[in-house]
Amino acid sequence: MDDLHPQDKERPESSSTSPIVIQSSTPPLFALIIGINEYADSRVNNLTAAVTDAEAVSEFLLSTLGVPAHQIKMLRNKEATRDTIQGEIMNLADNPAIKEGDAILIYYAGHGAETSAPSGWPTDSRSRMIQMLLPHDFSWSGSVTKQGQGVLDITFARLLANLARNKSDNITVILDCCHSGSGTRKDKQDKTFEVRGVELPKSYTIPGNLLHDTMLESRASSIPKGFENIGLTSHVLLAACKQGQEAREKFQCGGEFTLALLSLLREQGVDELTYNDVITLLPNLPQQNPQCEGVHQNRFLFNSKISSPRRQLFGIRSKTPGQLGKYILEAGEAQGIGVEAELVVYPDKSMTFPLGTVVTSHTTAFTALCTVPQHQTPFALDQPGFALQIRVGERKDVRFCIREADSCASLKRVVEEMENEQVKGRVRLVNSTDDRPDLAITTENGLVYFEIMDPVCRKYGLERMPFAVSTSADDTYLKAILQSAVDFYWHLRRSRSGKNSGPTGPPPPQIKLECFKLKWKFTDDFEEFLVPDEGDNLYDDEHKVFFIDVNNEGPYGFQITNDSTTDFYIWMFYFDLSDLSIDLYYQPGSAAEGKADISLPAGQSLTIGYGSSGTSPHSYRLRDDQDVDVGYLKLFLTEKYVDFSDIVQKSPFDQGRQSRLGIKRLGIKRVVETSFLWATVHIAIVQK
């Protein structure tokens, strides 16, 4: 294929015999496609189908998506050296034909490997391994120079961050390889498949000065102090298998992952599929579970447009085959299901024909026993179905107190309506602040104010949200604000018991959560990277909070250490009590049937904002007219994969609504609980 370059000739006008081109809503797409069967080092086993996969991906882009040939760069075998692969990714960043928001695809089929990281390498504190893609000129025994090295994960991440800064974060990376395996030349009993991974000798080492990549340094500016497009914020990754598994290819046919992926995309199309959908809809592959990683998993393929929020469906099946009236819901306390929750059951995800309604009678961490209400007839469920929650069960109420309710009748009317519309949290209107409301609502001079009643907030001086709403705002918007508050406080209070988790508390002894101010580290050999600054963990054991000095701009990072014997999936959120937003700080990858890579193995640590987790650091600031702010970090730990992505929410006081609805801005942004099977932890962050 030709190198990427702007199209310099206009297309001729279509004639009556020209095919009709169906216009897609996806933006223009540019691609770098890499397939390597042949390796220069005879000790690395050649593959038979990586180039076939690369050509199949290219053909899909050309014939199915209509991508022009000049927007696709192919590297096969000898063309795919380390320098060429890295250079072509930088060419994408420099290509003037690629505009902001255009889709970029990087596809790789070939071998992968992993080895121990050099001393001082920025990895998670305990797992000292680094991964790499193997170019054609890779040396199996290692090298004291860059020649013969792999494309290291940290180098690949920097290239993607540079690409995202220059273009946008609409980047898709597809890797059909693995980082473990036996891809060295030796006798094999099964000749029908190859493993796309190489086991390196224990003596293999990476020279420390490889981090100082002169080609990358000469082509890209130094990393700025903004971190919007680093790590897993710069791209979405679709990987052939989870950590420790082998990516397999059928002899001369193709990689099992790529074959399944292309078949799905041809059948379903790309316009209505999110990355998460792709992983969920892929067929089961023998001995490998494809993974999806990145903060933008809910975007549509090759598009920066985010899918509309979907109401969460849970699997449901008969408790005993052939028995009517008792059912097992594949969701429990961890998913927010309480006793006496009401759900509608459907035979499939289309939700066109309901089978009936069930009510939960008993819950465990990840399941619930359901029965049919007395006034309804039990229904058959021969095949597993899907259930949609329509009414919450036993839960802690979210309480509102309206001071001087007569002065704002619309507010009282809205709250009374919400008391009868309980889907995610129960709403209760209380008479005074002595009844411990979550929010107290007052009206002054034609404005509605929201007083924060959280005891930790009030202890440190945050008593009122820095926004006010006109008393003339319509009921719809007032309800939107209050519904955001209901969702916010319900998720904040979630705990294993399903009841109010209470105020802040220290992490349990087996889980250690630390917060550090980060600094850039420079050496003669290394490029700059973030490490914890010298100093103590910012967790104040006496007050059970993190104290952040906003005069110290940061950035800040976190480390979670698991000294238990249980592996955990981790979700981490920041709850901003000043504007009711919930931001995602960390999420695990996703995979079909919940078989995603573990976030935090027993006896190991996870870093957030630095190291090798691919997450961004965080900085904190006070809003105008604020001299203190308080938020909560909430950590969800589960032994089984649970999707908590629906917790994220934007503030109802966003800039777009302020001008339309009479919102007046009065004034950082930007704290944990636990036990076996699933647990939560929340700790306050106090900013002064």
Q: Is residue 304 assigned to a domain?
A: no
**CATH assignment at residue 79:** 3.40.50.1460
Q: Is residue 341 assigned to a domain?
A: yes
Type of residue numbered 451: E
Strand intervals (E) in 39-162: 72-76, 103-109, 112-116, 129-133, 151-152
Q: Is residue 177 assigned to a domain?
A: yes
Residue entry with tokens 């096969």 = 76
pLDDT of residue 21: 34
pLDDT of residue 101: 86
Rounded mean pLDDT, 267-278:
86
| Same domain membership, residue 367 and residue 273 | no
| Same domain membership, residue 431 and residue 372 | no
* pLDDT band at residue 473 using 50, 70 and 90 as cut-offs: confident
| Same domain membership, residue 239 and residue 122 | yes
Tens-digit pLDDT profile for residues 440-449:
998 888 888 9
Mean per-residue pLDDT over the chain, rounded: 79
Q: Which residue has the higher pLDDT, 123 or 8?
A: 123
Q: Is residue 301 assigned to a domain?
A: no
Tens-digit pLDDT profile for residues 618-646:
888 787 777 888 889 898 998 888 888 88
Rounded to whole angstroms, the Cα distance separating 178 from 167 reads: 28
Q: Is residue 687 assigned to a domain?
A: yes
Six token digits for residue 67? 């991508």
* pLDDT band at residue 425 using 50, 70 and 90 as cut-offs: low
Interaxial angle between packed helices 153-166 and 82-94, expressed in degrees from 0 to 180 and rounded to the nearest 10: 20
DSSP class per residue in 432-501? SGGG--SEEEEEETTEEEEEE--HHHHHTT--EEEEEEETTS-HHHHHHHHHHHHHHHHHHH--TTSS--
Decide: helix, strand or coil at residue 51: helix
Burial class (CB in 10 A: 0-12, 13-18, 19+), 37: buried
| Same domain membership, residue 551 and residue 483 | yes
Domain stops at, among 356, 376, 391: 391
Q: Which residue has the higher pLDDT, 205 or 80?
A: 80
In this structure, of 104-108, 371-375, 389-393, 627-631, the range with the lowest mean pLDDT score is 389-393
* pLDDT band at residue 382 using 50, 70 and 90 as cut-offs: confident
- Of the ranges 31-45, 347-361, 405-419, which is most confident? 31-45
* pLDDT band at residue 186 using 50, 70 and 90 as cut-offs: very low
Rounded to whole angstroms, the Cα distance separating 341 from 238 reads: 36
Rounded mean pLDDT, 410-420:
78
| Same domain membership, residue 414 and residue 375 | no
Q: Which residue has the higher pLDDT, 286 or 122?
A: 286
pLDDT of residue 522: 55
Rounded mean pLDDT, 582-594:
85
| Same domain membership, residue 601 and residue 576 | yes
**CATH assignment at residue 349:** 2.40.10
Q: Which residue has the higher pLDDT, 328 or 131?
A: 328
Residue 15: pLDDT over 80: no
| Same domain membership, residue 200 and residue 79 | yes
pLDDT of residue 669: 32
Residue 674: pLDDT over 60: no
0.75 exceeded by pTM:
no
Backbone angles phi, psi at 78, to 5 degrees: -60, -25
Q: Is residue 300 assigned to a domain?
A: no
Rounded mean pLDDT, 127-149:
84
pLDDT of residue 187: 38
Residue entry with tokens 């929750």 = 341
* pLDDT band at residue 211 using 50, 70 and 90 as cut-offs: low
Domain stops at, among 344, 359, 391: 391
| Same domain membership, residue 520 and residue 405 | yes
Q: Which residue has the higher pLDDT, 429 or 65?
A: 65
| Same domain membership, residue 664 and residue 556 | yes
Number of domains in the chain: 3
* Structural domain span for residue 99: 29-293
Q: Is residue 423 assigned to a domain?
A: yes
Decide: helix, strand or coil at residue 589: coil
Domain stops at, among 343, 361, 391: 391
Residue 351, Ramachandran bin (φ over 0: left; ψ between -120 and 50: alpha; else beta): left
| Same domain membership, residue 431 and residue 527 | yes
pLDDT of residue 76: 97
Rounded mean pLDDT, 604-609:
88
pLDDT of residue 304: 65
Rounded mean pLDDT, 142-152:
82
| Same domain membership, residue 439 and residue 352 | no
Q: Is residue 673 assigned to a domain?
A: yes
Residue 154: pLDDT over 90: no
Rounded to whole angstroms, the Cα distance separating 348 from 382 reads: 12
In this structure, of 67-81, 343-357, 410-424, 543-557, the range with the lowest mean pLDDT score is 410-424
| Same domain membership, residue 492 and residue 457 | yes
In this structure, of 298-307, 370-379, 550-559, the range with the lowest mean pLDDT score is 298-307
Residue 3: pLDDT over 50: no
